[in-house]
Amino acid sequence: MTSPDSKKKLANKVPAPNKQSILDELQRGEVKFLRLQFTDILGATKNVEVPRSQFEKALSGDVTFDGSAVEGFTRVEESDMLLRPDLSTFLIYPQFSREEGERGRVARLICDVTLPDGTPFGGDPRRVLARQIERARQLGFEMFVGTEPEFFLFERTPGGVGSTVTHDKAGYFDLAPIDKGERIRREIVNKLLEMGFDIEAAHHEVAPGQHEIDFRYAPALETADRIATFKFVVKRVALEYGLLASFLPKPLENVNGSGMHCHLSLFKGGQNAFTDPEHEYGLSQTALHFIAGLLDHAEGIAAITNPLVNSYKRLVPGFEAPVNIAWSTSNRSALIRIPAKRGNSTRAEVRMPDPSCNPYLALAAMLAAGLDGIEQRLEPPPAIQRNIFKMTVREKRHHRVKELPADLREAVDELEKDEVIARALGEHVMDHFVAAKRAEWRQYSATVHQWELDRYLDLI
């Protein structure tokens, strides 16, 4: 994963689109439908699609929707909300099938959600991230993020229902014919490139049927936008091949789960603020404070970066997922790893997030944690260069190594204790997210699972 070489590279872009330029592009591209995309609190991508006759109204931010119908948004009596498009996110979707092309091309704009009077809606996850980006800007920083989302491809039944039968038996970096997903991965990457994504690599992962596509670094908001669209593209291409693409963190037992490692770096004045060749490990004090903040709030952000009951079945020893709250410059058993490259490529790889998370909330929580470390001038414990999985309890205690929450209930408990992360999320998001996750845990706890029947039914 490459970090920013220079902010000057990012400045060399085409002029920012405006309403008229987008209308012209819609006409040239013979676009018939425009999707106004947004994300609910739990990370599900939503959209309102309008026909050509409503393009001008949509670009003016005058399209309303019923917020009471969206998870965690508003009550019925205060349901009207507006979609205000971010014109910089405009793109035309590639054609995913011949039939789709015949129905007319589709374009997309990602929107901020506002109240009818134009006031930003406190429950909009994109707004939550924007607030933390502004907080970083006031401190002189801008965060760049590169991500490595993983996913599984499963067979569908003759009736089109998804299964957990993987489409191949390949492993890490395998090639065709063992890796049957090679063609699909290339198709996904080609569609993403058509849409202007900057993709660094794509390969088969460790588990059968598991794949990874790596994003080049970008500003945090742009990366979150890309992740939301990426999931749609992956699922859409898989569907064309008769497969199910799943971002569930742990769909299969006894194999590696799917993570979404996030490579974070701060830039200040066009230079990487994490690098300092005069200090130990080539890391600046800013980097060390940021790492310390991430470690200090790791338990509190877990419910955000790993938001499902299923997430914690990935975060167990033996499957390359982090369990221990520690950092390292060499081994991958730590929560945070510092890759070897320095200079403008200096960054912190946070290994706990999984692809089921809401990307806006996850990046906001990690940025808030790191900035708190900078503001409080926190110091991280010594880096641990050995395999933490092989350390004894006494050794972990000696090195001040704590563990991540063991399940979703524990993670939500920790989130409620963390005032910094709660403040970053805001009251609306915090209250609705916690309520939804408490309900999810209660339902899971009350469900009788097959494991219980297999283990106890004949014995008791």
**99 in active site:** no
454 burial class (0-12, 13-18, 19+ CB within 10 angstroms)?
exposed
Marked catalytic residue, from 56, 66, 253, 375 = 66
Marked catalytic residue, from 349, 354, 414, 418 = 349
140: phi > 0 → left, psi -120 to 50 → alpha, else beta; which?
Answer: left
String of b and e for 71-97 (b: at least 16 CB within 10 Å)? Answer: ebbbeeeeeebbbbbbbebbebbbebe
**349 in active site:** yes
Q: Catalogue the E-assigned strands of 3-60.
A: 31-39, 45-51
**205 in active site:** yes
Marked catalytic residue, from 351, 354, 372, 414 = 351
**332 in active site:** yes
**211 in active site:** no
Q: Catalogue the E-assigned strands of 269-333.
A: 271-272, 324-328
Marked catalytic residue, from 204, 211, 226, 261 = 261
Phi, psi of 214 (to 5 degrees): -100, 130
**142 in active site:** no
Q: Show the tokens assigned to 284.
A: 């600046």
Marked catalytic residue, from 40, 124, 142, 150 = 150
**212 in active site:** yes
Give Cα 116 distance to the centre of its chain.
29
Residues 6+ apart with CB under 8 A from 386: 331
**261 in active site:** yes
Residues 6+ apart with CB under 8 A from 373: 289, 290, 291, 292, 293, 294, 296
| Residues known to be catalytic | 66, 148, 150, 205, 212, 261, 332, 349, 351
